[in-house]
């Protein structure tokens, strides 16, 4: 089926769009009460992803943006222990086979345009994701198989999802931002004017690199603390710090300069909220190029002192060093994993020498198959990724491995990763984005990998994990898969990241950064008294 074509309006028309294209609702009493008195405005400084797009169906970053900015919500969400709980849903039941899920919706949920959220509306949204899948990198099929049969019963207020394979935890899959519930019928601008159910809605897109002007959703089911939110895009940690100190913004996410974090923690005028993280910073190694050589990858890992990097002045406290792609604080057998490529630069040199990967012309760079090893390292300025890349470059130079840095935007990093256009590609990803590592570990499954990796043993374990329902057995499978990724020297693990929110006590009464990192602008953020 071909994707539907939608007319894209100019940005000045977004506000009118919400008023003219949607439904009407008579009861706006909650919003009226929250808007009484002096206008409450929040200025929020944050990183820009995907040019600020809100298109949940196009890219993962677009989906994250829409949920982070408080525009969209999903049927379920995660608590700070990464357990699922109902959000737009009220409850659910599942059969013994874990193939039939009956979800009862709340009856008090409306889109920002006034249309009630019904099972039919949810079904329409999920079917839209199917329609646009061929032109999308959002990969909605990772979260809900497109073969699933979806039945909407508006009278009973239930949505029934019948899958062809068992799901360990379908609510966790449906909590992922790509599966947010959007008013498909009335949305005309999917890039910057998505109509969701969150506490805020777009009133104006200010432009790429600038930000959004947001307004309180008049149809939200609880009181919205701010009438207006200005989302201001800021490219680096220094910009966020200066903007917060000067009063340009009231709240920022993820300041990554260690000294700045410490200064804010020691200053009674500011509060720093830090979440125990489930993010892993790591660099892909592309096996479709020179890094197909096992010995070279092993030597690279042995050349890098992860503990020293994470303890450095620029990174210390924001990352915890580790060896696995899953953080050590998750209950997946981390303490039982072994590291065959611990820091040993002399051992790395010896390994390369014995394999004939040597510097024959005395220029300081080793050669492989007659060519200097000069790795293209793609990274971007967020969560200290460039600091890690710089450190890795220095360590690799010490064993005769050349590196050329390509430091650009997050969009550039993502596009080169998806195209396989890199040797090393640094990123920081949520490891249990669905409350479970299945989707994340699929990044090394031969059919869905970004790095040219293929291992029949790993594939078999991954396929077993897809259908395994026993919690104990699932943990054992995950542990085995972690060890294979380590043994096959597939990634350079930076460490495990903790997210943060920093705010002015004069202007913000409370703000919280969630473990899942999907929920930035929530009704928890309130003005100072």
Mean pLDDT of the chain: 91
- Is the pLDDT confidence value at 296 over 80? yes
Distance linking the first and last C-alpha atoms of the chain? 53
Could you tell me the pTM of the whole model? Answer: 0.79
The pLDDT tens digits of the residues spanning 316-340 come to 778 989 999 999 988 899 999 999 9
Q: What is the residue extent of each domain of the chain? A: 11-233, 277-498
Helices and strands (DSSP H and E) totals, the chain: 15, 21
On whether the CB atoms of residues 262 and 245 are closer than 8 A, the answer is no
Torsion of CA 12, 16, 21, 23, to 10 degrees: 140
* Confidence at residue 4, expressed as pLDDT on a 0 to 100 scale: 32
Complete DSSP assignment for 4-67: PP-PPPPGGGHHHHHHHSS---S--HHHHHHT-SSPPEEEEEE---GGG---TTT-HHHHHHHH
State the fold for domain 277-498.
Dipeptide-binding Protein; domain 3 (3.10.105)
Contact call for residues 47 and 185 (beta carbons, < 8 A): no
pLDDT digits (tens, 9 = 90+) for 98-135: 999 999 999 999 999 999 999 999 999 999 999 998 88
In the CATH hierarchy, which fold is given to the domain comprising 11-233? D-Maltodextrin-Binding Protein; domain 2 (3.40.190)
Return the bridge partners of 504, or none: 270
Tens digit of pLDDT for each residue in 139-152?
Answer: 899 899 999 999 99
d(CA 71, CA 521): 9
Cα–Cα distance list, 327 to 33, 166, 281, 429 (Å): 44, 27, 10, 11
**Nearest-angstrom CA–CA distance, 104 and 169:** 16
157: which residues sit within 8 A by CB, 6+ positions away?
A: 104, 105, 107, 118, 119
pLDDT one-digit tens code per residue, 439-457:
899 999 999 999 999 999 9
* Confidence grade of residue 205 (pLDDT, cut at 50, 70, 90): very high
């Amino acid at each position: 089926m071909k994707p539907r074509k939608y007319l894209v309006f100019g940005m000045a028309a977004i506000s009118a769009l919400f008023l003219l294209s949607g439904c009407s609702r008579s009861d706006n009493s909650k919003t009226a009460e929250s808007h009484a008195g002096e206008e409450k405005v929040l200025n929020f400084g944050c990183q820009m992803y995907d040019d600020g797009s809100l298109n949940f169906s196009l890219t993962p970053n677009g989906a994250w943006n829409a949920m982070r900015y408080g525009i969209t919500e999903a049927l379920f969400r995660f608590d700070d222990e990464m357990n699922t709980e109902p959000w737009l849903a009220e409850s659910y039941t599942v059969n013994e086979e874990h193939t039939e899920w009956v979800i009862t919706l709340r009856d008090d949920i409306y889109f920002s345009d006034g249309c009630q959220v019904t099972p039919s509306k949810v079904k329409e949204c999920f079917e839209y994701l199917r329609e646009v899948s061929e032109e999308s990198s959002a990969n909605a099929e990772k979260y809900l198989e497109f073969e699933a049969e979806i039945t909407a019963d508006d009278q009973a207020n239930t949505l029934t999802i019948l899958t062809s394979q068992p799901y360990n935890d379908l609510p966790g899959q449906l909590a992922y931002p790509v599966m947010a519930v959007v008013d498909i019928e009335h949305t005309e601008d999917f890039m910057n004017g998505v109509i969701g159910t969150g506490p805020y809605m777009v009133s104006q897109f200010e432009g790429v690199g600038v930000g959004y002007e947001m307004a309180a959703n008049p149809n939200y089911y609880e009181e919205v603390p701010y009438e207006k939110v200005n989302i201001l895009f800021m490219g680096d940690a220094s910009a966020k710090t200066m903007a917060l100190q000067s009063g340009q913004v009231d709240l920022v996410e993820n300041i990554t300069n260690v000294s700045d974090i410490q200064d804010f923690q020691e200053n009674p005028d500011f509060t720093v909220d830090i979440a125990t993280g489930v993010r892993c910073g790591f660099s892909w190694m592309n096996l479709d190029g020179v890094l197909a050589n096992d010995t070279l990858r092993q030597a690279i890992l042995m050349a890098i002192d992860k503990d020293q990097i994470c303890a450095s002045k620029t990174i210390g406290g924001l990352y915890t060093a580790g060896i696995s792609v899953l953080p050590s604080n998750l209950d997946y057998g981390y303490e039982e994993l072994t590291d065959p490529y611990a820091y040993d630069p002399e051992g790395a040199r010896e390994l390369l020498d014995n394999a004939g990967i040597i510097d024959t012309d005395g220029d300081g760079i080793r050669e492989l198959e007659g060519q200097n090893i000069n790795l293209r390292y793609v990274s971007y300025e967020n969560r200290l990724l460039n600091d890690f890349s710089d450190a890795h470059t220095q360590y690799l130079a010490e064993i005769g491995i050349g590196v050329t840095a390509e430091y650009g935007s997050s969009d550039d990093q993502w596009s080169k990763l998806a195209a396989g256009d890199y040797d090393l590609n640094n990123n920081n990803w949520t490891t249990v984005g669905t409350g479970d590592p299945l989707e994340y570990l699929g990044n090394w499954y031969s059919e869905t990998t970004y790095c040219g990796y293929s291992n029949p043993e790993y594939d078999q374990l991954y396929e077993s994990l897809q259908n395994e329902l026993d919690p104990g057995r699932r943990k054992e499978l995950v542990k085995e898969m972690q060890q294979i990724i380590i043994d096959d020297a597939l990634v350079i693990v930076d460490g495990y990241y903790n997210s943060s929110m920093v705010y002015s006590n004069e202007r913000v009464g409370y703000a919280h950064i969630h473990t899942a990192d999907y929920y930035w602008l929530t009704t928890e953020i309130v003005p100072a008294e």
